[in-house]
Amino acid sequence: MIPFKSFMALQLEEYIAYRRSLGYTDKNLRSQLRPFDRYLIEKSADRTSLEPRFFLELRKDLKGEPRTVNGILSALRGLFQYLIRKGIYKENPLLDIPLCTENAYIPFVFSPDQIEQLLLAIQKKIRKSRMHFFNDLTAYVAIVLMARCGMRISEPLRLQLEHYRSREGTLYIEKTKFSKDRLIPVPKPTINEINNYLTVRNTFIGESQNPYLLAEQNGKRLPNNRIYPVFHQAVKDIGIDQPRRIIANTTFGAPVCHSLRHSFAINTLKQIKDQGKSPQYALPILSVYMGHRKYQYTAVYLKVLDAKHRQGLVDFAISMQDKI
């Protein structure tokens, strides 16, 4: 971990530690504060420099999309509120600094058929040699859980053996984003996948001391970087690889691992609508299932009806690009 180097290095670390004590993870916060740390050094800034004008210049000089810049500004606003409470500063210099106007974001959405094609493509690529079979199968099961249970990528990787209750058909997801725990029912086909995997797991690593449900032969849990190449290769194999597009004030996302979570929510709401029921009534339940802090966060998935609707929006935006 690269340390902060500006005159505010100690205060930045103290703020991160404070947020961690409240149950927040520090990964994103640290990355959001690091450009500020570098900017202080670049401008040879000291405490007297930290006027609102300084932060207007920072906003102008920051590279990246508006959403990224806003994340940095929001992190700094929180930092100075913390420093005010500690009596180090009297006023927040970012209080009246406006955020950048963000693009509307439309995520990539897999159709149910594309999900099945993706999983089949991954399954076919599982290598049969003893050296690779178990680890490849573990990565496949992780992606199955992301696709069929709407999990964030970190969630299946943190599951422990005791979190899976085979008789009940449930998974206990512990200490995820927002430090929320949840118990979720697992679809029957996914239960079968997990049970088959556990049989193979027992064959390969037996009564090992590895507590993780998705283990590797080396005795460790499956890392994130084992998932990404498998996922992206499968996306290419089924012919739906496409870049992220920014058209006018709208960003259309590329297919990424988190798209499986978006797709799970959107396809679930569509299924409810197709049954003649109101998706609005399902939002609180789906919100709990997905571990959202508020069901309003789940409501954003109502903006895209399904994969076909999303592709229609892309095609329309491209066709109108020259006229915008």
**How confident is the model at residue 249, as a pLDDT?**
77
Distance separating alpha carbons of residues 28 and 47, to the nearest angstrom: 25
Q: What CA–CA distances, in Å, run from 302 to 157, 190, 257, 283? A: 28, 26, 20, 10
Amino acid sitting at position 215: A
**How confident is the model at residue 303, as a pLDDT?**
63
Instruction: List every span in the chain annotated with CATH 1.10.150.130.
Output: 9-102
Distance separating alpha carbons of residues 260 and 266, to the nearest angstrom: 10
Environment class of residue 141 by beta-carbon count within 10 Å: exposed (0-12), middle (13-18) or buried (19+)?
A: buried
Distance separating alpha carbons of residues 172 and 321, to the nearest angstrom: 46
CA nearest to 83, candidates 95, 72, 71: 95
Distance separating alpha carbons of residues 212 and 226, to the nearest angstrom: 15
Distance separating alpha carbons of residues 135 and 200, to the nearest angstrom: 11
Distance separating alpha carbons of residues 267 and 262, to the nearest angstrom: 9
Answer yes or no: are the C-beta atoms of 80 and 89 closer than 8 Å.
yes
**How confident is the model at residue 308, as a pLDDT?**
63
- DSSP, collapsed to helix, strand or coil, labels residue 121 as helix
Beta strands in the chain (DSSP E): 104-106, 164-165, 170-173, 182-185, 245-247, 250-252
Helix 66-85, helix 52-61: angle, nearest 10: 150
**How confident is the model at residue 96, as a pLDDT?**
93
**How confident is the model at residue 194, as a pLDDT?**
97
- Tokens standing for residue 283: 């939002």
Q: 48-51 contacts: CB < 8 A, separation 24 or more?
A: 50/93, 51/93
CB neighbours (10 Å) of residue 278?
10
Environment class of residue 270 by beta-carbon count within 10 Å: exposed (0-12), middle (13-18) or buried (19+)?
A: buried
Give alpha helix (H) positions in 86-213: 112-124, 133-149, 154-158, 188-205
Task: For residue 81, give the H/E element and its range.
Answer: helix 66-85
CA nearest to 123, candidates 47, 34, 198, 197: 197
The domain made up of 112-237 has a fold known as hpI Integrase; Chain A (1.10.443)
**How confident is the model at residue 1, as a pLDDT?**
75
Amino acid sitting at position 169: G
Answer yes or no: are the C-beta atoms of 46 and 19 closer than 8 Å.
no
**How confident is the model at residue 25, as a pLDDT?**
67
Q: What DSSP string describes 276-292? A: T--HHHHHHHHHHHHT-
Looking at the DSSP bridge assignments, the partners of residue 185 are 170
CATH architecture of 9-102: Orthogonal Bundle (1.10)
CA nearest to 75, candidates 27, 4, 139: 27
- DSSP, collapsed to helix, strand or coil, labels residue 170 as strand
- Tokens standing for residue 219: 């005795």
**How confident is the model at residue 179, as a pLDDT?**
65
Distance separating alpha carbons of residues 273 and 306, to the nearest angstrom: 11
**How confident is the model at residue 177, as a pLDDT?**
66
Please list the ranges in the chain whose pLDDT falls under 70: 23, 25-26, 177-179, 293-324
